[in-house]
A and B are shown apart, each in its own frame.
Chain A
Amino acid sequence: MSADTRRTPAESAILYAALLACAAITLMPYAWMVSSSFKTNIAIFSAQVDLIPDEPIIDNYIEAVTRHPVGRALANSLIMAGVETLAVVVTSILTAYPFARLRFPGRDILFLAILGTMMIPSQVTMIPAFILIKWLGWIDTYQGLIVPRIMTPLGIFLMRQFLQTLPRELEEAARIDGCSRMQTLLRVLVPLTGPAVATLAIFTFTASWNEFFWPLLVVQSTEMWTLQILIASMKQAEVVDWGVVMAVVTMSVLPTTAIYVLLQRYFVKGIAMSGLKG
């Protein structure tokens, strides 16, 4: 269908117009966000729509950084997303390896049990998880933010799918040479997991960076705010200072956008792996 060479100019024009319209609708909120972040209050509360401000200013950014804990929130988001990503990659590889490669009683049922936890909405487990964190004394700490999220069924599933595609001969050769299973995993298989690790890491980092619900429960003091919590709280203010809010939102959106634009082939791979496995 796509290779239709008989398309008339009118048909092509309609297709391009539709694409352009979709792109404009998709990009407009970003343009509005960035443009508002460079506007004076007078320009923001004016009766005309200027996508490019008449006199762009950076005062909103200066005010955001000096009057709100943006630096701290940025660091917290980075720590949370970074540690979580590292942990998920390590735990996923270790757990996926036996499921992908070894034969032992209980393997399939345990794998199904782990996958089955994906069916349970997080809201069902959230209240006891919160109580658990409270018992552990982890409210308002990094442990509390991170530890309940260091393993994901999706990560284990993705790594298992990937490990199954690697040729068995490599491992068998290493085993014959006297490597233990752990050595085989670390020296032979792990170096080959690059693309899958990249995909998993990018998805985990983005999801963690954007996470709102769990930090909302665990975080209490301003020092522990993540960027998402900071933005939500700025929006709850009596009088919302839209220019400054948009400056913070723009800064919070930049990292994930950059990762996405630079590494998008891994995103496409991830969708194919998670959504529509062959």
Chain B
Amino acid sequence: MALAQGSGPAAAATRLPAGPRWWNEETRFGWLAISPALAFFAFFVGFPVCYSFYLSFHDWNMMSPTPYWVGLENYTSLLDDDEFRRSLIQTAAFTFGITICIVVLSLGMAVLLDQKLRWIKLYRTIFYLPAVTSLVAIGVVWVWIFDPQYGLINQALAGLGIVGPVWLADPQVALLALIVTAAWRNIGYFATIFLAGLQGIDAMYYEAARIDGASAWACFRRITVPLLRPTILFVVVMSVILSFQVFALVYVMTGGGPAGSTSVLVFYLYQQAFTYFRMGYASAIGFVLFVIIFALTLIQFRAFGKPVQS
């Protein structure tokens, strides 16, 4: 219905006397058609960003009628907040671990998938499957897999005569267990992206190298990696952005525990906002998160984004 309404004014407008040259039927139709989107994004993204910025200079528990101005206090108290610092470090550790895993293992998997082997399409289908499975489902299944007594991993270890750790209940190991789970979910997704990059490399380079007697490893290091640089950059940036925002897995698997050892930034933000109703403080955390992600993305573009030298 909304679609049909659009044609009315635009069609009628063609009969009106011409205004300035740019104010023609094409302009009017264009603006009319995108105006719902502009209104939507102004309302659900533009306004929230501004309001969040405003809130970050205020104290507000959502009960009192108006936010109370506190200036920079939310930001300065973040500097002294040990729990915040800890969640920041844990988020960084999670991001670092998962990104290393993804770059190495996804690239390895993509190289495998790029071979001419039997049933290769079936393998491609299988490896991507975790990417369409919900994080909540994956989290719950892996909690069960990590179960200290009856879980798959510790039962397998017991078969080898090893007593496995208590995984999610051990502050030393819990973050590692989260990394394993997140890696399991994301490796196939990023392998698909790497595969697309690999298939974009001209086979002529490899033929030339083969004639020169280069080994497979030399080909990989000297041809594949340099030419794959844009894809690697894309994967690293995506992985960092996604990992810095990890939430569902933490919420479902550990609830930030044990002893706060898996409390990551977004989980801390969620707790501040919706457990303690410190909306101003949580907004400040949100902005710090935004700035960190933005800065990391820029740094990565600087570091890896240089054009490939031939």
Q: Which residues in A have some Cβ–Cβ distance to B below 8 Å?
A: 1-4, 12, 15-16, 18-19, 22-23, 25-30, 32-33, 36, 44-49, 90-91, 94-95, 97-99, 102-107, 110, 113-114, 117, 119-129, 131-132, 134, 148, 150-151, 153, 156, 180-183, 186, 206, 209-210, 212-213, 216-217, 228, 231-232, 235-236, 242, 245-246, 249, 252-253, 256-257, 259-261, 264, 267-268, 271-272, 275-276
CB distance from B304 to the nearest CB of A (A): 16
CA distance A276 to B251 in the complex (A): 32
> Is A1 a contact partner of B114 (Cβ separation < 8 A)?
yes
From residue 68 to 117 of chain B, which have CB atoms closer than 8 A to chain A?
109, 112, 114-117
Instruction: For A180, list chain B residues within 8 Å (CB).
Output: 7, 10-11
- Known pairs A102-B29, A110-B38; A249 contacts B7 (CB<8 A): no
CA distance A44 to B248 in the complex (A): 26
Tell yes or no: B245 within 8 A of A by CB: yes
Instruction: Please give 9 more A-B residue pairs, beta carbons under 8 A apart, in addition to A131-B51, A249-B140.
Output: A3-B203, A33-B144, A47-B158, A49-B152, A131-B62, A134-B62, A150-B40, A182-B11, A246-B141
> Is B150 a contact partner of A23 (Cβ separation < 8 A)?
no
Other-chain residue from B10, B45, B52 in contact with A127 (beta carbon distance below 8 A): B52
Instruction: For A121, list chain B residues within 8 Å (CB).
Output: 241, 244-245, 286, 289-290, 293
> Is B134 a contact partner of A256 (Cβ separation < 8 A)?
yes
Instruction: For A102, list chain B residues within 8 Å (CB).
Output: 26-27, 29-30
B46: nearest chain-A partner, CB-CB: A117
> Is B52 a contact partner of A33 (Cβ separation < 8 A)?
no
CB distance from B200 to the nearest CB of A (A): 8
CB distance from B127 to the nearest CB of A (A): 6
Tell yes or no: B135 within 8 A of A by CB: yes
- Known pairs A15-B115, A15-B117, A128-B52; A97 contacts B33 (CB<8 A): yes
CA distance A127 to B159 in the complex (A): 48
CA distance A220 to B241 in the complex (A): 29
CB distance from A216 to the nearest CB of B (A): 8
CA distance A138 to B113 in the complex (A): 47
Tell yes or no: B174 within 8 A of A by CB: no
- What are 28 A-B residue pairs whose CB atoms fall within 8 Å in the complex? A4-B116, A16-B117, A19-B117, A29-B141, A29-B184, A48-B155, A49-B152, A106-B31, A121-B241, A124-B48, A125-B49, A128-B47, A128-B52, A131-B51, A132-B44, A150-B40, A151-B36, A151-B41, A153-B41, A182-B4, A210-B134, A212-B248, A228-B137, A245-B140, A253-B137, A257-B133, A259-B132, A275-B193
CB distance from A197 to the nearest CB of B (A): 15
CB distance from A225 to the nearest CB of B (A): 12
CA distance A105 to B286 in the complex (A): 34
Tell yes or no: B239 within 8 A of A by CB: no
Chain B interface extent, by class:
35 or more
CA distance A126 to B247 in the complex (A): 13
Instruction: For B115, list chain A residues within 8 Å (CB).
Output: 2, 4, 15
> Is A246 a contact partner of B144 (Cβ separation < 8 A)?
yes
A49: nearest chain-B partner, CB-CB: B155
> Is A235 a contact partner of B37 (Cβ separation < 8 A)?
no
B25: nearest chain-A partner, CB-CB: A181
B199: nearest chain-A partner, CB-CB: A2
B158: nearest chain-A partner, CB-CB: A47
Instruction: For B123, list chain A residues within 8 Å (CB).
Output: 19, 22-23
Tell yes or no: B226 within 8 A of A by CB: no
B274: nearest chain-A partner, CB-CB: A217
Tell yes or no: B130 within 8 A of A by CB: yes
Instruction: For A216, list chain B residues within 8 Å (CB).
Output: 251
Among A126, A148, A257, residue most surrounded by chain B Cβ atoms (within 10 Å): A126
> Is B129 a contact partner of A212 (Cβ separation < 8 A)?
no
CA distance A22 to B247 in the complex (A): 26
A24: nearest chain-B partner, CB-CB: B126
- Known pairs A32-B152, A98-B30; A120 contacts B6 (CB<8 A): no
CA distance A144 to B221 in the complex (A): 51
From residue 265 to 281 of chain B, which have CB atoms closer than 8 A to chain A?
266, 269, 273-274, 279
CB distance from B236 to the nearest CB of A (A): 13
Other-chain residue from A27, A117, A235 in contact with B41 (beta carbon distance below 8 A): A117
From residue 240 to 254 of chain B, which have CB atoms closer than 8 A to chain A?
241, 244-245, 247-248, 251-252
CA distance A232 to B249 in the complex (A): 10
Other-chain residue from A117, A186, A209 in contact with B45 (beta carbon distance below 8 A): A117
Other-chain residue from A23, A30, A95, A264 in contact with B36 (beta carbon distance below 8 A): A95
CB distance from A121 to the nearest CB of B (A): 6
Instruction: For B128, list chain A residues within 8 Å (CB).
Output: 260, 264, 267
Other-chain residue from A25, A48, A209 in contact with B184 (beta carbon distance below 8 A): A25
The 6 A-B pairs at the shortest CB distance, nearest first, are namely A210-B134, A182-B7, A128-B48, A125-B48, A98-B30, A104-B27
> Is B132 a contact partner of A257 (Cβ separation < 8 A)?
yes
Other-chain residue from B25, B52, B133, B241 in contact with A253 (beta carbon distance below 8 A): B133
CA distance A27 to B126 in the complex (A): 8
CA distance A216 to B247 in the complex (A): 12
CA distance A124 to B270 in the complex (A): 11
